[in-house]
Each structure stands twice: as C-alpha cells, then as structure tokens.
Structure 1
Amino acid sequence: MSAQQEYSFFGAVEKSFDKAAQFTNWDPGILEQIKQCNSVYRMHFPVKIGDKIEVIKAYRVQHSHHKTPCKGGIRFATTVNLDEVMALAALMTYKCAIVNVPFGGAKGGINIDPKKYTPYELEKITRRYTHELIKKNFIGPGTDVPAPDYGTGEREMAWILDTYMSMNPGEVEAIGCVTGKPVTQGGVRGRREATGLGVFYGIREVCNMPKVMEERGMTVGVENKTVVVQGLGNVGYHAAKFFREGGAKVIAIAEFEGAILNPAGLDEEAVFQHRKKTGSILNFPGATNLATSNDALELECDILIPAALENVINGDNAPRVKARIIGEAANGPLTPEADEILASKNILVVPDMYLNAGGVTVSYFEWLKNLSHVRYGRLEKRFTENQNKNIIQQIESLTGKKMQPAERVALEHGPDEVDLVYSGLEETMISATREIMECWQNNPGIPDMRTAAYVVAINKVATSYNELGIFP
C-alpha cells in the first residue's frame, strides 16, 4: 500500500485536535463529542447517462450540531471518499467557530469526474443528489446549508435551490437552503472571490504584526514580499490577484501540468488567459517553466500559498521548503509531519481552518440576506450618500474651496452590497487572526499557530455544548 493510500485526512485532523486539546481544561467526554462526526450519510443512486444507467456514489456528513444549521460545500471529484468528507466537515466546524459564524460543520461530495459529463447529465446527477438529501432531512435553511466546493459552482447551487424549492412549495425561507448561488437567484456580491480575499486579509494581518515578522527576519507589511501560488482555480487566482494589488510580487504560479517562474512578477489574469488559450500555464511569455507543480513549493520566497488539494507538503518535501510564511488557502495542504518539520525551521504556517474561511463567512452573509429578504445596502446607501454630500457642501462653504471631482465622488459614495461584504470579511479575518495570535502568545507551551487555532475553536465549541446543558 502506498503512503498516499495510508494517509488518513480525518486522522490528521484528529491528530491536530488531540495536540491542541491538551492545552484546554474541558472534560474528556466533551472533547470526544466535539471530535466525532454526528451524522454520516453514504448513498448510492442510479442516473441514466446516455443509454446506460450509472450508479453514483455520494456523501453528506454533518460533523457537529452544537449550532444549526450545519454548513459546508459539495465537491465533485473522483478523489471524493468518506475519509475526506469527514475531515472537511470537521474542519468546517472549527473554521466556523474561529470566525464566529454560527454554524455547525458539514461537507458533501459526489464521486465523479465532472469533465466527463454534459451539463444536462450533471444537472440530473445534482438534482438527484438533492432529492436524496431532502429525503433524509440533510438539507434546509435551518438544517443543513450546502455551498460550492472543488468541481462545483453557482450553476450547481442554482440546480440545488430549484430542486429544493420545488419539493418545498411555499416555504418562505427556502432560498436560504444553499449558498454560493448566482446573484439573480439570491446570491451575494463578493462570494466568488471571498476565499481568496480572506486569505489575503489574514496573511496581511499577520504581516502587519511587528513581533511575528521580526522573529522571521522580515519587514512589516505585504508590500514587496515575494509570493508563490500553487493552484490557479478560483481561490488561487483571487489570492494572487489581491496580493499583487496589495503590493506583493507573485513570482511563481503552479498548476497540475507544471509551474512557471518570473522573478519580476506575474499577472494572474494574463496567465489565466494564456492557459485558457493554450490549455497550459507552461511557456508563458517571459517566464521560465518548472518541470513539476511541486517544484514551485520549494522555491525561495517570502509567502507560499498552496491553493490546490490536500497533502501537497508532507514529511518528504517539507525539509526543502524555503518560504518563511505558508498560508494554507486549500484544505489540509500540509500533513502533521510537515507541521513538525516546518515549526523546527521557524516557518510560520497560517492554518487552513481559519485562513480559507472567507467562503463560509460570505456564505453566512448570503444566508442572512436570504432570511431578511433584502439586499445589503438597499436601505442605507442613498441615505449615506446624501449625508456625505451635505458634509462636503458644508466644508466647501466654510473653507471657500471646491473639492476635485474625483475626490468628491470617492467621498460621497455610499456602500454597495460588495463594499459591505468586503468590509465584513476584512473585520472577520482581522479579528480571528488577532484572537489566534493572542491565544498563542498567552500559552507559551503551544508549538504553532495551527494548534492555537484549534485551541480557540475547541474552547468555543465546548462552551456552546456546555451552555446547551446537554451534559446533566
């Protein structure tokens, strides 16, 4: 059996949990309850594909019911298995707790290669999967709210919404049964880029901490930092975009076909268009090709962003990693063995369990929007603009000077939905980063930031269980 087959993602999450649990004072029974997956639904259902009937294997795991609804994405991939879905559901519980989003963790997956099916066939599979979830009460605005993940997007969420609404006619909150929907179907502006933007906000806050940067011989701020991004999907693309716009230099981008390097910096949109045109990021003008995607992980850089799949940095390649900060944009890109090695090299690992929480944070905003039935900014945008205009007119009247048109537009602007979403996400990521760092600094025995993040999560989930009074 290969090392890849032996590796248990859920086992790795449990190992990290146990490492952190020793820094808490909770009853072992509460800790055991938090660790376990509360509900596991494994299903097989038939779908007619062409002239044949295909049996589809799928899962939905609700890890914790300490808060409801449960929340977590649905992924379409041939790698989907029960171990992976359980691990991702557990991470969702801890992630939501850290960023103060009041959901229990969940995850779903369908074991298919979406590229091998037509849109019509994918729609049939998605709708049938939704029917199965409805039958067992594994979906609903107050029960379990799915979202997009690897291999899925707004289109699939619209199919899920339509199926749920047709099965629950007249349910006034039905639109909140799923998030990551198209804006026209109750989605929220800013959801698409949310995870990548959250990664940027989290790393930027870490880079703004003088003590943390001094310990690694780095200057404060993200400006002029060199960044390597593995993965040019939705998360990797937007992380690269916001780092570049924030003044950092993205020197390398990796995808499954290989990697490209340009010390002068890369423009993610140009690389994306090149890949769209040629089918590969390789041979991008001005960049050097690297033989494999994994070569990019070992480049000299300030910040490394693994934004692809799990287990890419492990006991084998961790000794060769030269980045000074690693931001886990993907779920579980580092193994526990890699954590130990990187900690010994004074490389700061900013953990996935809160760093990629941008998606669920903005999904929470979308869910709230759906329950309130009103778009963000609709009630206050014009009021704020009119107030700002009055203030500017008063200043101009008192000073006798006129403001430049561009400055006037910027100052008069009232918040649109996307402005409020970005603002809420920024506040969430900054607060979570500071809370984790404070926990780490106040507990000298905690070895790394991941363990500190788990301690924060365990304390919040355990407090919820305690206050529910389920332990007489």
Structure 2
Amino acid sequence: MSENQQYSFFESVLRSFDKAARFTSWDPGILEQIKACNSVYRMKFPVKIGDSVEVIEAYRVQHSHHKTPCKGGIRFSMEVNQDEVMALAALMTYKCAIVNVPFGGGKGGIKIDPKRYTPYELEKITRRYTAELIKKNFIGPGTDVPAPDYGTGAREMAWILDTYVAMHPGEVDAAACVTGKPVSQGGVRGRTEATGLGVFYGIREICNMPDVMEKLGLSVGMKDKTVVVQGLGNVGYHSAKFFREGGAKVIAIAEWEGAIFNADGLNEEEVFQHRKTTGTILNFPGSTNLAINTDALELECDILIPAALENVINNVNAPKVKAKIIGEAANGPLTPEADEILSAKGTLVVPDMYLNAGGVTVSYFEWLKNLSHVRYGRMEKRFTENMNKHILGQIEDLTGKQVSESERKFIEHGADEVDLVHSGLEETMITATREIMDIWKSNPEIPDMRTAAYISAINKVATSYAELGIFP
C-alpha cells in the first residue's frame, strides 16, 4: 500500500465525519448510528459465460434508512470491494442530505471488467444481479433505487427495469425502481450533462461571492477565469463545456494518455472529436503537449477540476498545485493529506460530496417523474408560451416598438422538460453552496469547506432521526 493510502476508503470517510462531528452537539449515539452502514449485502451467483460457468461477486449497501428509498449507483469494475461500496454509500447519504434530496445513501457494485464481456453476457449478469436484489428486497421504488456509475449506463438501467417489471407484474410505479434510464423508458432529459452542469453551478456561485473572491485574490464572476480540467469523460467534458459557455477559459485538458495546453482556451467538443479521430488528445491543433498528464494538475490557473480518478492529488504533488480553487468533480480526487496541505496554503477545495451531486439531484427529478406519470412541462408549456406571446404583444402595441426575432423567441419560450430540470438543478446547487458557506463562516474554527459540508449533512440526518422519534 502506498504512503497515501494507509487506510481504507471507508475509514477516510469516517475520518472526515469525525473531524466535522466535533463541531456539532448531537448525542454520540446518534453520530454512531449515522456513521454505520445499516445493511450490507454481499452475494455470489453463477452465470453461464460461453461454455463455462463464472461465479460473479457483487454487492449492494444501504448506508442509511433515515429517509427511504436508499439511492446510489451500480458500478461494474474489477476494483469493486466491500470497503469501497460502503464508503460510496456513506457519501451518498451525506450528498443527498446536503442538497436536500430525500433519500438515504446506497451503492452497488459488480466485480467484473465490462470490456471482457459481450453485451449479451453483460445483460445476463445485470439481470441475474437484479433478481438477487429483488429476492432480498434490496430494490424497489420505495426501498432502494439504483442508478448508473462507472462501467454502467442507460442500457444497464433498462435491463434492471425490465427484470423488475417482469417480477412485479402490475406494479404501477415500477419505472421508479431505477433512474438513469433511456428517455423512452421513463428517463428524464438533462440527466447526461447533470453532474458537469452541477459542478459549474456550484463553482459559479462561489465565484459570485465577493468576500470569498477577495480572500483568494480573484475578481468576482466567471468571466475570463482560467480552468484546467482533468478527464474528458462525461463529467469532465460537460464541466469544460459549461465553464467555456459561462465565460471562463479552459486552458488545459488532461487524459490518461497525456495533456494539452493552450493559453487562449480550448474547445472541448473539438478536442473530443480530435481524440475520436486520432485516438489521443495529444497534438491537438494550436495546443502544446505536456510531457506527463499529471503536469496539468500543477499548471498556473484559477480553477482546477479533477474529473477522473480517486487520489490524483496527494501529499507529493499537492504542494505544487497552483490553482486557487479546486472543484472535486470526481469522487475522492484528493487524499486527506493533500486536503491538509492545500488548506494550509489557502486553496479553496470545493468538496466532491456536494459538488458532484448533480447526478443524484436529476435522478431525484426522474424518480418524481416516474411516480407522477407525467413529463415535466407537459401541463404548462403551451399555457406559458401563449401567455408570454400575449404579454409581449400588449407591450409592443403600447410602446409601438418591436423586439428582435431572437429576443422574441427567448421571451415567448415555454419551459420544456430539460429547461425545468436545469432550473431545478441550478436552484439545488445554489442553495446548497450558500448553506455550506454560511456554516463555514459561522465558526472560524471550521478548517475547510469539506468539514462545513459534513456538518451540514450530519445536522440534517441527525434531525431526521430525532424527528422520527428513534432517539428520545
């Protein structure tokens, strides 16, 4: 084990929890209950792969039942183990609490390398896993609602849904047993870009706080802020896109094969297409290649967005990180040692547990859509458009002036599903950011934003337990 990983992932979550718990006045017993994983289901099941039978190892953890259903993704990876799934389930509890999404934390994983299997074999594994979850009542619209994670996507969620429906004929809310589904199967528009957009909304809100910007020596607002993004997967790509569209300059993008730099800014879609054509982001026209991909983490910039792997910033490279703000788009990109080093340097680390909550927030909207059986915007879109047209017509008649065609389209537009999903996500991220910053400012002894975020989560979960009457 390297010196940066002397303890397990779950232990590092507990360390962060304990650090924050001392700033609360809850009974130690309540704190112990919040920390504990309520249910851990470890299973092994056989699946016929080709001519042989493989025994598959899989997990589902329900961390907290202070609110139900439990919510959390399912990952397909050879790295899956009980400790990791428990840690991620715990983080889901705190994440949902911080952004006021009424779920308990859950997480699932199947220990396979999805690249080794055909789609048909993956379908067999996914359906068998779902059947195992159903047997033990570890899935259901009001019990436990999975979602995509590493190695899974809308396709796997559709298989889970179909298996659940087949085993629960006539259950009217069955579509709400899983989120991240294809739109045609009850999924919600706006889910794909949700995490990256949430990262942007969270960082933008911080950049709009004059006192925070003054402390960091930065101007207020997003305009012309320099951004470095590590990872060009779904989260990295969409983070880069929204930062660029929001007026910032993405000066570097890093992937596993290397990193590229351009002081005038990069367009993530052009880089993505270049990589699709050539198999690498390197040698992108107009950019400079960096020798090692991790060099991008040490570039001079205002905002650094690690959106790929865990533990990429550690006690070795943290002293060389020059970014004023680090937005944790990935899960756990900083080790606890890196946290201490950066905090001492005055770097603002915006923690993953709330910053990448866009995915679960929009999953919540999908769950609500499935329970209500109606698409967002369907009831009011035309009414709003007709009303806006009427108001605009009246104003034009009274003033004798006409608005431009582009302005007319904008004013008359009635909200569609994706507009409402983005609006709900923006409201969620702004509210959560302000709540965390208020907690941090309320006590000068709170060392960093991560601790403030944990305090927010602990207070909300503990309040739920207390109000349920579980603790006198």
Which TM-score tier does this pair reach, normalised by the shorter chain? over 0.9
Partner amino acid, structure 2, of 1:105? G
Alignment-derived partner of residue 397 in structure 1: 397
Q: SS in structure 2 opposite 1:56?
A: strand
Partner amino acid, structure 1, of 2:448? D
Change (3 A) 1:136 1:195: same
Q: Using the alignment, how far apart are the partners of 1:17 and 1:295 within structure 2?
A: 31
Q: Using the alignment, how far apart are the partners of 2:92 and 2:432 within structure 1?
A: 15
Q: Does 1:315 align with 2:327?
A: no
Q: Using the alignment, how far apart are the partners of 2:229 and 2:96 within structure 1?
A: 25
Alignment-derived partner of residue 371 in structure 1: 371
Cα offset for 1:401?
2.2
Alignment-derived partner of residue 238 in structure 2: 238
Cα offset for 1:319?
1.0
Cα offset for 1:4?
6.2
Give TM-score scaled by structure 2 length.
0.98
Alignment-derived partner of residue 154 in structure 2: 154
Alignment-derived partner of residue 84 in structure 2: 84
Alignment-derived partner of residue 255 in structure 2: 255
Q: SS in structure 2 opposite 1:96?
A: helix
Partner amino acid, structure 1, of 2:108? G
Q: Using the alignment, how far apart are the partners of 1:285 and 1:296 within structure 2?
A: 18
1:374-425 deviation per Cα after TM superposition (whole angstroms, max 9, x unaligned) = 0000000011111111111111221122332222111111000000000000
Residues 4 and 335 in structure 2, CA contact (< 8 A), matched pair in contact too: no
Cα offset for 1:6?
3.7
1:296-311 to structure 2, matched below 5 A, reads 296-311=296-311
1:174-195 deviation per Cα after TM superposition (whole angstroms, max 9, x unaligned) = 0000001110000000000000
Unaligned runs of 5+ in 1: none
Identity percentage of aligned residues: 82
State the aligned residue count: 472
Q: Using the alignment, how far apart are the partners of 2:44 and 2:292 within structure 1?
A: 36
Partner amino acid, structure 1, of 2:85? V
1:149-197 deviation per Cα after TM superposition (whole angstroms, max 9, x unaligned) = 1111111111111111111110001000000111000000000000000
Cα offset for 1:111?
1.3
Q: Using the alignment, how far apart are the partners of 2:374 and 2:118 within structure 1?
A: 35
Q: Using the alignment, how far apart are the partners of 1:178 and 1:455 within structure 2?
A: 29
Alignment-derived partner of residue 455 in structure 1: 455
1:61-93 deviation per Cα after TM superposition (whole angstroms, max 9, x unaligned) = 111000000000111111111111111111100
Q: Using the alignment, how far apart are the partners of 1:139 and 1:443 within structure 2?
A: 41
Partner amino acid, structure 2, of 1:211? D
Partner amino acid, structure 2, of 1:150? Y
Partner amino acid, structure 1, of 2:84? E
Q: Using the alignment, how far apart are the partners of 1:393 and 1:385 within structure 2?
A: 12
1:276-291 to structure 2, matched below 5 A, reads 276-291=276-291
Larger mean Cα displacement after TM superposition, 292-301 or 86-95: 292-301
Alignment-derived partner of residue 16 in structure 1: 16
Q: Using the alignment, how far apart are the partners of 2:461 and 2:193 within structure 1?
A: 28
1:279-334 deviation per Cα after TM superposition (whole angstroms, max 9, x unaligned) = 22222222222233222111111100011121111112111111110000011111
Q: SS in structure 2 opposite 1:375?
A: coil
Alignment-derived partner of residue 327 in structure 2: 327
Q: Using the alignment, how far apart are the partners of 2:376 and 2:457 within structure 1?
A: 29
Q: Does 1:445 align with 2:445?
A: yes
Q: Using the alignment, how far apart are the partners of 2:295 and 2:426 within structure 1?
A: 32
Q: Using the alignment, how far apart are the partners of 2:251 and 2:398 within structure 1?
A: 50
Alignment-derived partner of residue 422 in structure 1: 422
Could you list the structure 1 runs, at least 4 aligned residues long, displaced by more than 3 angstroms after superposition.
1-7
1:406-465 deviation per Cα after TM superposition (whole angstroms, max 9, x unaligned) = 221111110000000000000000000000000000111100000000001000000000
1:21-59 deviation per Cα after TM superposition (whole angstroms, max 9, x unaligned) = 000000000000000111111111111111221111111
Partner amino acid, structure 1, of 2:399? T
Q: SS in structure 1 opposite 2:397?
A: helix
Q: Using the alignment, how far apart are the partners of 1:293 and 1:52 within structure 2?
A: 40
1:56-205 to structure 2, matched below 5 A, reads 56-205=56-205
Alignment-derived partner of residue 268 in structure 2: 268
Partner amino acid, structure 2, of 1:275? R
Alignment-derived partner of residue 350 in structure 2: 350
Q: Using the alignment, how far apart are the partners of 1:182 and 1:326 within structure 2?
A: 32
Q: Using the alignment, how far apart are the partners of 1:88 and 1:397 within structure 2?
A: 58
Cα offset for 1:131?
0.9
Larger mean Cα displacement after TM superposition, 133-142 or 257-266: 257-266
Q: Using the alignment, how far apart are the partners of 2:250 and 2:217 within structure 1?
A: 20
